[in-house]
Amino acid sequence: MLPWTALSLALSLRLALARSGAERGPPASAPQGDLLFLLDSSASVSHYEFSRVREFVGQLVGLLPLGPGALRASLVHVGSRPYTEFPFGQHSSGEAVQDAVRAAAQRMGDTNTGLALAYAKEQLFAEVAGARPGVPKVLVWVTDGGSSDPVGPPMQELKDLGVTVFIVSTGRGNLLELSAAASAPAEKHLHFVDVDDLHIIAQELRGSILDAMRPQQLRASEVTSSGFHLAWPPLLTADSGYYVLELAPSSEPGTVRRQQLPGNATGWAWVNLDPDTDYEVALVPESNVHLVRPQHLRVHTLPEEAGPERIVISHARPRSLRVSWAPALSAAAVLGYHVQYGPLLGGAAQRVEVPAGRNSTTLQGLAPSTAYLVTVTAAFRSGSERALSAKACTPDGERSRAPRPQPPGAWGREP
C-alpha cells in the first residue's frame, strides 16, 4: 500500500501545483519577438568595416535566446536594392543564425536605406508575409551614417507599427537625423561607436533588446504631441481572455476611450491625442481562467510641434552675423535645430547644428557685402520638422570714412 500511497500523493501534489500555476497566469518563459538586423552592405562601407560589423552581429546573436518559442532573427542588406540574407523562421537555433551571419557577403552598390526599410515593412514585418502577430518587433540598423535616399518617412512607418528601432552608427552619421530615426529616448536606442570597438556595446545592446522584447509591465514609448505606443508582457493567451484598454485625460476622467484587444496582444498605439496633456491609461485583463490585476500608467504627451516663429539677425560684420529665433524649445520637445545658410545669388549652402534649449548661433566665414538666405529648422522627436527663413546681409569689408564736417570758424577767420 505504501508505494501506491506515495504515487497518489505525488500525483495530487503535481495537480495542485498545476492549478496554482493556472491561478497565477501563464508561466514565465523566454522572451518572444522578431528581431531584424539591417546592415549597410553598400560600397560606402569598406570590406574591412563590413567584416567587423558582421563579427559584431554574430557576437550579439550569440548572446540572445534564439529558437522556437523565443526570438526569431532575420538579416537584410542595404544596397542598391534590399537583399534578404535569411528571413524570420529559416533558422531554428542561435548557432544556425550565427553560421548564416558569418557566411553573409557584402552586396556593394548604393546606400538605399529608405528602400530597404520599406521592403522590411512590406516583406518581413507584415503578418501577411509571415510575421508573428502579437509579439514585439525590433530593428537593429548598423550603418556608417549615410543614406542615398530619405530614411525618415519609412522609419516612422515602422515605428507606427510598434517596431522598436535601435541604431548603431560607426561614427560618421548626423546626430539629429539618427536621433529622430531611432526610438525614443535616443540615448538608449542610438549608439555611436568606432567599428573596431563595436564589441564594447554588445552586452548593453543585448539588455536593451531583451527589455524591448519582454516588457515587465505596462509601458509607453514613442511619445509625441499627438499619441504614444503601449506595450505590456503576455498576461493572457488568445484562448484565456481579452484586454480592455482605457484612456482618459487626467483633468477629465469621465471622458474615457476604450479599446478591446485579443488575449495574445502585447501592444497598442493611441493617436489623435491633445498635445502637452496628462493621460491616465488602464490595461484591464478579462479572463474566466485566472485573475490578473489591471495595470495603470500616466503618460504626458509632448508640447505642440510649433517651430520657430521669428528670426532676428544681429551683430552683422563683414564675415559673420548672429542668428536668433523664438521660441526656444526644450529638449523634451525637440532634438535640436539645423541652421542652413547660403548666398541668395547662388553658391554652396552650409549647415550648423544647434542643440535643443538654445535659440541662437553665430555664422562665421561669410563674404562681405553679400545677401544670404538663412533657414532655421526645428527637428522634433516624432521625426517631423518645422522651418522658417529670413534674409540677412553682411556689410562692406572696408568702410571709407568721410571727413567730419567742421563747425563754422573752426579753421579761423579769413582776413
| Intrachain domains 219-301 and 309-394 with the same fold | yes
SS3 290: coil
| Cβ atoms of 143 and 104 closer than 8 Å | no
Most confident of 68-77, 122-131, 398-407: 68-77
pLDDT tens, position by position, 207-249:
999 988 876 678 888 788 889 989 888 889 889 999 999 999 9
Dist. CA 305–CA 53, nearest whole Å: 37
Spatial CA neighbour of 304 closest among 382, 406, 394: 382
CATH domain 309-394 topology: Immunoglobulin-like (2.60.40)
* pLDDT band for position 89 (cuts 50, 70, 90): confident
Average pLDDT along the chain: 83
- Which amino acid belongs to residue 256? V
State the DSSP code for 164.
E
| 312 bridge partner residues | 324
Chain-centre distance of CA 185, in angstroms?
7
- The sheet carrying 385-393 orders its strands as 350-355, 334-343, 371-380, 385-393
| Contact between residue 278 and residue 300 where contact means Cβ atoms under 8 Å apart | yes
Return the C-alpha cell found at 44: 560606402
Q: What is the pLDDT of residue 117?
A: 93
Pick the CATH number of 219-301 from 2.40.50.140, 1.10.3470.10, 3.40.50.620, 2.60.40.10: 2.60.40.10
The string of pLDDT tens digits covering residues 276-288 is 899 999 999 999 8
Amino acid at 44: S
Ranges of each domain in the chain: 33-213, 219-301, 309-394
Please give the CATH superfamily to which domain 33-213 belongs. Answer: von Willebrand factor, type A domain (3.40.50.410)
Separation CA 299–CA 35 (nearest Å) = 27
The three grid cell numbers given for residue 115, joined into one nine-digit string? 528602400
The pLDDT > 70 percentage for the chain reads: 85
Cα 227 to Cα 178: distance, rounded to the nearest angstrom: 21
pLDDT at 277: 92
pLDDT band at 409 (very low <50, low <70, confident <90, very high): low
